[in-house]
Amino acid sequence: MKIVITGAAGFIGHHVAQRMLADGHRITILDRLDHSGNLNRLAEIGVPNEQTKFVFHDLRAPINSQLTAQLGKPDWIIHMAAATHVDRSIDDPMSFVLDNVVATCNVLEYARATRAKMLYFSTDEVFGPAPDGTAYRETDRYNSGNPYAATKAGAEELCVAYHNTYKLPVMITHTMNVFGQRQHPEKFIPNTIARVSNGESVTIHADHARTRAGSRFYIHASAVADAVSFLLENGEAGEKYNIVGELEVDNLQLAKTIAKYVKRDLHYEMVDFHSSRPGHDLRYALDGSKMAEMGWTPPTTFAAAMAETVQWTLDNPKWLLDSQMKVAA
């Protein structure tokens, strides 16, 4: 198939691009190469090659006729380009409206003009914090806790509207905290690898009493790409799908696991996340039963994926900030 992937120079996007190439598809990468996009990610997975084409564009602007001619008529559009940093969304919400809502509308218009199928990549954060024992299903109510989540929810509703109004074949996915090779070093897992390697203290966001760490269902980027590949073959237009890791892990447990793989002691500080990170939530959780009933589960265990990621990062310290990674262990 011919597939356009927006944001394919990003962390999750390049893993999806790698999987689409492995599946034998031809891909066109649409990216503006801002602080999230990095051509070195694409170079390391063998792009460019005869299966790929790159088109530079900022999706805040419409995809005009000239760009449409360059992109052609795809079978699928996988829309992954987005602004994702929660703290930046709190400081500058309008930029997230432009990047996540306006940009998605421009992609939907391109899909409508070409009658391409579309997969919109969303987030667990649209559901807001999950109380203990709660895992949100695809159709549960939304309760955005920050502007980032609200703009992703708004973009989702545009996708639903285009499906209902124009009969555009759109699917929506939600996933949780994704990790893996070539992740931005500001994120918790690569940051923790660097800090543990350097003997520095790791910040663990916790409850008010600083006794309970926040938790997530972490999932490797290659598992997310595997789920996307599965949905292109088995998903249905108008449906939403949760892509969920196999088990819930709290961030202190995760930091201890990383320290074990790095073979260094863990030094850490528990902090009240409400005070230090307003707009963030202590626990997120998604119900993955819909995908499981369809026949998809993560292809690797969390433990195996985490061990591989830590070792790869130690072997490739250039993907950590030089100021962070003083020692490669």
Point out the catalytic residue in the list 125, 138, 156, 248: 125
The verdict on whether 148 is a catalytic residue reads yes
Q: In residues, how long is the chain?
A: 329
Tell me if 282 sits within 8 A of 250, measured CB to CB.
no
The answer for residues whose C-beta is within 8 angstroms of residue 207's C-beta and 6 or more apart is 272, 273, 282
What is the sign, positive or negative, of the torsion defined by CA atoms of 234, 237, 242, 245? positive
Active site residue 268: no
Cα dist. 313→194, 225, 319, 325 in Å?
9, 20, 7, 10
Token pair in block for residue 250: 């709290």
Euclidean distance between CA atoms 224 and 227, whole angstroms: 5
| Distance (Å, whole) CA 55 – CA 77 | 14
Beta strands in 36-186 (DSSP E): 52-56, 76-79, 117-123, 170-175, 178-179
d(CA 67, CA 59): 11
**β-sheet bridge partners, residue 5:** 29, 78
* The one catalytic residue among 124, 138, 156, 281: 124
Q: Which of 148, 162, 241, 284 is catalytic?
A: 148
- Rg over alpha carbons for the chain, rounded to the nearest Å, is 19
Helix (H, G, I), strand (E, B) or coil at 122: strand
Catalytic residue IDs: 124-125, 148
